[in-house]
Amino acid sequence: MKQLIECVPNFSEGRDMGIIKQITDEIERIEGVKLLDVDPGKATNRTVVTFVGEPKAVVEAAYQAIKKAAELIDMRQHSGEHPRMGATDVCPFIPIANITMEETVEYTKELGERVGRDLGISAFLYEASATDTRWKNLANIRAGEYEKMESKLKQDDFNPDYGPSILNPTAGVTAIGARDFLIAYNVNLNTTSTRRANSVAFDVREAGRVKREGDPITGKIVKDENGESIRVPGACKAVKGIGWYIEEYGIAQVSMNLTDIKVTPFHIAFEECCKSASARGLRVTGSELVGLMPLNVILDAGKYFLKKQNRSTGISEAEIIKIAVKTMGLDELTPFDPNKKIIEYLLAAEEATPLLDMTLPEFANETASESPAPGGGSIAAYVGALGVSLGTMVANLSSHKRGWDSRWEEFSSYAEEGQAIKDQLLRLVDEDTNAFNKIMDAFRLPKGNDAEKAARQDAIQLATKYAVEIPLKVMTAALESMNMIQKMAEIGNPNSVTDAGVGALCARTAVYGAYLNVKINIGGLKDKAYVEERLKKADAMLQQAMDTETAILQIVESKL
């Protein structure tokens, strides 16, 4: 599964669209990233750009954008309402999928080193990347803005992490760092009262409200011995919020920024708004996501609400998302399109999955045509997906079986495991065809002189190894599914035991079919150590699959 990082650089130009376009062109020309949003502001004279991609590609795109901004923007001539200190003022990296904050920090250091060394720009690491506790807060770096940077850089205690301790007069100073994903999220109320919406916001946000004597609105403010107002904290940490009235919709909302979704997920913020609103005689009617979100955020929400119903969470992503959308009313004001709101889905739209996009008849017809792909490898992966889907079905039926209510979590866990394996095998359906195409592309390379012949042969060997690794992945996933299928045959809903049996037959077919692909592809490889190791692994998996299939079918037969 791909690692994904979001990058949201802020450039100190919001009025000249020609300059902005040149910067974003640098981002778009880097393979492996997708430009999601460009938001210029005339008053701030600042543009916020959002793009996402795999880590190395994001580092390269960010570097090229910072380089171009340094060429085009002269901070000596810049003015705007927003605080700023450089042509690229800040460049945050946000971990989105399959990557930790610690890994993301390392990529910010890689970028910072290049910016300082190759561009001669003073670069500070901030937030999670900070090497100095002061720099965790961006405001401490940017204090005094561009105009004070020359004198600040001369101070002994204001040293950049990378680059010179002398101001680059045109490019200024840049802050680079890793931070958590920020979600802008509004909750809709059945009122037009901003004051009442604020009351809910104060109940929920971390800052809470000022403590008062007697009446919470008009009472005298309570202060400490230093004369500072005492605050009553709200229910949710890492949440900022305020109430407002939206004339366009004719309702009041609680408008929130969720600054750390690991601390307060957005479904918990929603639940706390519901609690506060109910206590105040109000009702939450729905909510609104502003911008984008990572897939795991809405999946976590859907699973949370399914668990509240004692329902299995081992269902498809589409169904989990549907539960989240309907429960939280994310489609109350405008339609909620997952393909436009979820970052991973936006990226997936760029990826070609010709086989998975077909209907069942189309897939069968394409397989039966004179084209050599899709072939046995893709079919093996798809049969494996069908097999584990049957096992997952048994798990879900068992979780909802009358009289088994106390066991729903047990079977839900098996269903989740099955869904993950199914999704992996489905991805491998197209990947096997891609592997075949890589071999064909390698054979089409020129073979005129000795150098071309050598390069062609190396490409063929590399592509062939890839074509071995894909069916090995199919074998591994299908074999793993057999363990879950066996458990469903043993302990699952007895009325569905034959479904588990058919699932086992499909899984064994997937393992054996992929095994045949490994053997035919591995024959042309010259790396004998590689061949021996992979064949040994494949042989062992095949034997284990055959033994497991026999065990499962014996269980099935014993229950008929």
pLDDT mean over 238-260: 91
pLDDT value at residue 19: 96
**Rounded average pLDDT over 296-319:** 96
Which residues, including other chains, have CB under 8 Å from residue 517's CB and lie 6 or more apart?
376, 377, 380, 432, 467, 471, 474
Q: Name the percent of the chain lying above pLDDT 70.
A: 99
Nearest to 267 by CA among 232, 234, 308: 308
Which of the pair, 212 or 14, is modelled with greater confidence? 14
Bond prior to 374 in cis (omega within 30° of 0): yes
Q: How confident is the model at residue 348 (pLDDT cuts 50, 70, 90)?
A: confident
Give me 453's structure tokens.
Answer: 């012949």
- How many CB atoms are closer than 10 A to CB 276? 22
For residue 345, name the pLDDT band (cuts at 50, 70, 90).
Answer: confident
- pLDDT higher than threshold 90 for residue 282: yes
Is residue 353's pLDDT more than 80?
no
Question: Which of 80-84, 125-129, 514-518 is predicted with the least confidence, judged by mean pLDDT?
Answer: 80-84
The DSSP bridge pattern shows strands 46-53 and 88-97 to be unpaired
| Rg of the chain, C-alpha, whole Å | 29
Answer yes or no: is pLDDT of 280 > 80.
yes
The pLDDT tens digits of the residues spanning 133-166 come to 999 988 899 999 999 999 999 998 999 999 999 9
Instruction: Look up residue 117 and give its DSSP letter.
Output: H
Would you say the C-alpha torsion 135, 141, 143, 148 has a positive or negative sign?
positive
pLDDT, mean over the chain: 93
| Average pLDDT score over residue span 43-64 | 94
Q: Sign of torsion, CA 267 269 275 280?
A: negative
Q: How many CA atoms lie within 13 A of 311 on its CB side?
A: 11
**Which pLDDT value is given to residue 227?**
80
Residue 179 token pair: 């931070």
3-state secondary structure at position 145: helix
pLDDT over threshold 70, residue 243: yes
Which residues 6+ apart lie within 8 Å of 132 measured at CB?
none
How large is the average pLDDT for residues 262-291? 95
Q: Catalytic amino acids?
A: 82, 432
Closest CA to 7 of 60, 43, 44: 60
225 pLDDT tier (thresholds 50, 70, 90) = confident
Percent of the chain topping pLDDT 90: 81
* pLDDT at residue 544 tops 90: yes
- Does the structure show a pLDDT above 90 at 344? no
Work out the number of other CB atoms within 10 angstroms of the CB of residue 325.
22
Buried b or exposed e, range 493-520, using 16+ CB within 10 angstroms: beebbbbbbebbbbbbbbbbbbbebbbe
Question: Is a pLDDT exceeding 90 seen at residue 350?
Answer: no
In the block, which residue shows the tokens 């010179």?
Answer: 164
Residue 206 in this model has a pLDDT that exceeds 80: yes
Whether the predicted pLDDT of 503 surpasses 70: yes
Give the pLDDT score at 251: 93
- What pLDDT shows up at residue 167? 96
Reported as a single tens digit per residue, the pLDDT across 366-422 is: 999 988 888 999 999 999 999 999 999 999 999 999 999 999 999 999 999 999 999
Instruction: Please spell the DSSP secondary structure of 201-250, one letter per residue.
Output: HHHHSTT-EE-BSSSTTTSPBPB-TTSPBPEE--S-TTEEEEEEEETTTT
